[in-house]
A and B are shown apart, each in its own frame.
Chain A
């Protein structure tokens, strides 16, 4: 579904690359985890993939076709993103309903062509909440709205940028379950970025570990669970995560 070849991202000219020569493939319908600590470049990979950052070297393919650096409008109906901070990813002064209709508006579609209430229900929210403003919702509710918004255009791929790291543990469990259910129901493909190995282990079938802009190791998730990682950084990360748990 997704294929990234030799992705290199540099901010500014002649600066050290933030992401260096990253290669990965994500099979359709699977969840792929990208793990690393702050500054390793995992979010930059996601942003390049999403189309937010057109300044990269290398190629990104979606279902076999290489993407133009400046994404076209139809691209956004195939790939959508869920952001980390539920308090920052919703417009503070617009009602939920309006924000859910926004993707339709921006794609030039009829704003009644998708049933907003149905989408809200599919993420576990009561449609009556749709007339509220974001500050009237809890963090977990806001993140559900963010997921609903991403689903409005019926994409094939969801890019998840640390979707639960700003949430309480109990709320995280609900959101992770929701994401799993959605993937199963809709056959979605996920690329999940996280610094929390436990979340990745729970959600993904394959994981790439990044350090300082490079992928140091890529393994199937069972290998990670067994601890069968070879690179010294992977081992350090695994050991630290085991000992002191979630971020």
Chain B
């Protein structure tokens, strides 16, 4: 019996692929990996989502490999070469203090990434915790937690962030705290809404009938169900977070000079917008691009993780 070349190829290279596609997973790791693989296949049906993902990966790579991509120091000034237009030596020109704009954009990516990660780490668990506890227990607990959420929700994001930054003092860490305090309420409400409907599910009743404590039910059974929609929501809100951070930077409350941050770069570039547009265009485009990328990924993620909405 002859085997076709494709069969032969797949028999060899097939080891991992077969493991991924095996109908009978033989362990938890294999089973979970298969699920992730299935999710990835679904995600990769969305070309725009893939484009967004590419930009985000690029952001991470650029931020990590910053010293490798440019030899210029983003902080060193060179008054003689200030406001030089884009050229072979300065890919995106120089700003009003002679600093290489390209280098500042690349190092500014680190700042952006830092902000995004910290905000997510604060906001997602906080929102999930408050939302699920509120939704599961109901009654007075729900009332109290939701009124607190309402208070934070009722302030416009930038204003609240401004207030906190003014109280705590300017600086990037305080900016992150300020942004986080405004970003968690929608997550809490989302988690609460999910919990309210999950609470009535038979599989939750089954676990109650095993003698599970409320904490166990919330952490082991309800939380895992809320996480996908929270991931989608956080991804979609990321654009707003980036723009709020940029806004704070623009107003001088974010990363302090001379450290590069896209928002403050845009602020200082404002003056020279007409004669030296590259100073403001570069960070501006970077902000827009990254925000767009998160929106695209969030939309595609929603189809993968939260298909309820699309059907």
What is the CA–CA distance of A83 and B204 in the complex, to the nearest angstrom? 11
B212, CB-defined interface residue at 8 Å = yes
Cβ–Cβ < 8 Å partners of B26 in chain A: 128, 131
**With A94-B224, A95-B28, A131-B28: A106-B210 Cβ-Cβ less than 8 Å:** yes
Contact with B along A151-165 (1 / 0, CB 8 A): 001000000000000
**With A131-B25, A131-B27, A133-B31: A91-B203 Cβ-Cβ less than 8 Å:** yes
Cβ–Cβ < 8 Å partners of B216 in chain A: 105-106
What is the CA–CA distance of A30 and B213 in the complex, to the nearest angstrom? 32
A51, CB-defined interface residue at 8 Å = yes
Q: Which of A73-81, A193-201, A223-231, A233-241 contacts B (4 or more CB under 8 A)?
A: A73-81
**With A131-B25, A131-B27, A132-B25: A52-B208 Cβ-Cβ less than 8 Å:** yes
What is the CA–CA distance of A187 and B210 in the complex, to the nearest angstrom? 21
What is the CA–CA distance of A95 and B221 in the complex, to the nearest angstrom? 12
Partner of B211, one of A73, A90, A146: A73
Cβ–Cβ < 8 Å partners of B220 in chain A: 102
What is the CA–CA distance of A90 and B221 in the complex, to the nearest angstrom? 11
Cβ–Cβ < 8 Å partners of A103 in chain B: 210
B225, CB-defined interface residue at 8 Å = yes
What is the CA–CA distance of A131 and B32 in the complex, to the nearest angstrom? 9
> What is the size category of the interface that chain B forms with chain A?
20 to 34
| Minimum CB–CB distance for B26 against chain A, Å | 6
Cβ–Cβ < 8 Å partners of A52 in chain B: 205, 208-209
> What is the size category of the interface that chain A forms with chain B?
20 to 34
**With A132-B31, A133-B31: A89-B203 Cβ-Cβ less than 8 Å:** yes
> Which single residue of chain A is at the shortest CB-CB distance from B31?
A131
A85, CB-defined interface residue at 8 Å = yes
A107, CB-defined interface residue at 8 Å = yes
B201, CB-defined interface residue at 8 Å = yes
B30, CB-defined interface residue at 8 Å = yes
| Minimum CB–CB distance for B231 against chain A, Å | 13
Does B210 lie within 8 Å of A90, measured CB to CB?
Answer: no
> Which single residue of chain B is at the shortest CB-CB distance from A104?
B210
A39, CB-defined interface residue at 8 Å = no
What is the CA–CA distance of A3 and B28 in the complex, to the nearest angstrom? 43
Question: Within B152-181, which residues are at the interface with A (CB < 8 Å)?
Answer: none
What is the CA–CA distance of A84 and B220 in the complex, to the nearest angstrom? 23
Contact with B along A102-137 (1 / 0, CB 8 A): 110111000000000000000000001101110000
Does A106 lie within 8 Å of B211, measured CB to CB?
Answer: yes
Does A91 lie within 8 Å of B221, measured CB to CB?
Answer: yes
| Minimum CB–CB distance for B22 against chain A, Å | 10
Q: Which of A75, A88, A128 has the most CB of B within 10 A?
A: A88
Does B28 lie within 8 Å of A50, measured CB to CB?
Answer: no
B206, CB-defined interface residue at 8 Å = yes
> Which single residue of chain A is at the shortest CB-CB distance from B216?
A106
A93, CB-defined interface residue at 8 Å = yes
> Which single residue of chain A is at the shortest CB-CB distance from B217?
A106
**With A88-B202, A89-B202: A51-B35 Cβ-Cβ less than 8 Å:** no
> Which single residue of chain A is at the shortest CB-CB distance from B201?
A88
Cβ–Cβ < 8 Å partners of B210 in chain A: 76, 102-103, 106-107, 153
B207, CB-defined interface residue at 8 Å = yes
> Which single residue of chain A is at the shortest CB-CB distance from B30?
A131
Cβ–Cβ < 8 Å partners of B27 in chain A: 131
22 contacts across the A-B interface (CB closer than 8 A) = A50-B209, A73-B211, A76-B209, A76-B210, A81-B205, A81-B206, A83-B202, A91-B207, A91-B224, A93-B224, A94-B224, A98-B28, A102-B210, A102-B212, A105-B216, A106-B210, A106-B212, A131-B24, A131-B25, A133-B31, A146-B206, A149-B206
Identify the A interface with B (CB < 8 A). Answer: 50-52, 73, 75-76, 80-81, 83-85, 88-95, 97-98, 102-103, 105-107, 128-129, 131-133, 146, 149, 153
19 more A-B residue pairs beyond the given contacts A76-B209, A146-B206, with a C-beta to C-beta distance below 8 A: A52-B208, A52-B209, A75-B211, A76-B211, A81-B205, A81-B206, A88-B202, A91-B203, A91-B221, A91-B225, A92-B203, A93-B224, A94-B224, A103-B210, A106-B211, A128-B24, A133-B31, A133-B35, A149-B206
